[in-house]
Amino acid sequence: MENEVAGAFFIDMVYLDKNSLPRCLKYAILASVFWTPHKENTMLIEFTLPSNPSQTIRLREATVADVLDFTAVDPRCEEQATSLFLERMQEKETYSDPRKWTGEDRRFALFQYFLNTTNEKSVPLSYSCSICGGKHTQEIAFKKIADAYTPISGDAFREVVHEGHNIVVKPLNGADLETVERLRFDLELTEDRLEEQNLSPTQLRALTEELRQQRTRIYMLMMICRIDMPYLDPAGTPASRRDAVMDVVQKMPLREFHELEEKVSAAIIEMRHGLRTSYVDGQIALEIPDVKCLKNPEAPGILLRYPFRFSSIIPRL
């Protein structure tokens, strides 16, 4: 009954107030209050977290009630939806908070769920080919995606020294990605406005500039979420220090900032884990390497980014 009530609230809000940010926040709060984990398990999918192979996670298969709740998810709230989905599908005995998992853990969990609940062996991916300029659709085998899996080497953080201080670098986690997702709303609204017809050159310039600023804001937020400076307040927490970290970064001379960027990106590469992924404007994508042009199979393969979204894994009735 509790689940039905929460589901009703959730679906109502999606249809009543489709475009606003507060709806997303409201549904997340309501969902946390009303949704309780199911007790009946129909099938368990077991895997270990790529960022912490000692942590085993078990997911059950979605029920009809789950499908009804989750098919109404707005694609722009996918990180919030991912948190709710992974919370709800987890077996209680091995439960851990998916907001604390890395983005790669969460994507791997969704991929595992998808692999274990679909009869498909591949997915068609349509793209504009950078070799011949044409449009291709190719079947990408799930095995090719799964083969790129790697567990993390060492712990899911690194310490780098910058200007005499120890800085902790960590991959983005679910809570970070939910924050980034909120900024993406503005970006997507601007992108939609750029698609409008009859824009004057002045409007076009202003919107292009707005888009650039919004992308920079997302990039900066991702940078701040990835670093912590414990020396600023050793008794505090990464969350309580975040404003102070932002302040330090904003006051950095550009050359010093670029040096920090390089150290952070090297540490993130060193911590690569899970499936092969990258972020595009704050949104995670699976990377499919070495995809051959259909017209020029002898040419070197290209790297495709597959937007493996929450909505792709949700089962339909």
d(CA 43, CA 112): 13
Tell me whether residue 14 or residue 140 sits nearer to Zn ion (CB atom): 140
Instruction: Judge residue 209's burial from the number of C-beta atoms within 10 Å of its C-beta, 0-12 exposed, 13-18 middle, 19 or more buried.
Output: exposed
Look up tokens 């000692």; give the residue: 54
- Least separation in angstroms between residue 139's CB and Zn ion is 15
Tell me whether residue 29 or residue 132 sits nearer to Zn ion (CB atom): 132
Residue type, 89: M
Tell me whether residue 37 or residue 301 sits nearer to Zn ion (CB atom): 301
- Least separation in angstroms between residue 292's CB and Zn ion is 8
- Least separation in angstroms between residue 303's CB and Zn ion is 14
Interface with Zn ion (CB under 5 A): 129, 131-132, 293, 295
- Please state whether beta strands 122-128 and 52-60 pair in parallel, antiparallel, or not at all (unpaired): unpaired
d(CA 21, CA 44): 34
Contact between residue 176 and residue 218 where contact means Cβ atoms under 8 Å apart? no
- Least separation in angstroms between residue 137's CB and Zn ion is 11
- Least separation in angstroms between residue 135's CB and Zn ion is 9
Tell me whether residue 23 or residue 136 sits nearer to Zn ion (CB atom): 136
* Integer-rounded Cα radius of gyration of the chain: 21
Task: Name the DSSP class of 93.
Answer: G
The secondary structure element, H or E, covering residue 255 is helix 254-270
In angstroms, the Cα distances linking 265 to 117, 164, 259, 269 are: 35, 19, 10, 6
Q: At what angle do helices 21-34 and 174-194 cross, to 10 degrees?
A: 150
Tell me whether residue 75 or residue 301 sits nearer to Zn ion (CB atom): 301
- Least separation in angstroms between residue 123's CB and Zn ion is 19
Both tokens of 42, joined, read 């129909």
d(CA 310, CA 85): 9
Tell me whether residue 129 or residue 285 sits nearer to Zn ion (CB atom): 129
- Least separation in angstroms between residue 300's CB and Zn ion is 12
Tell me whether residue 132 or residue 266 sits nearer to Zn ion (CB atom): 132
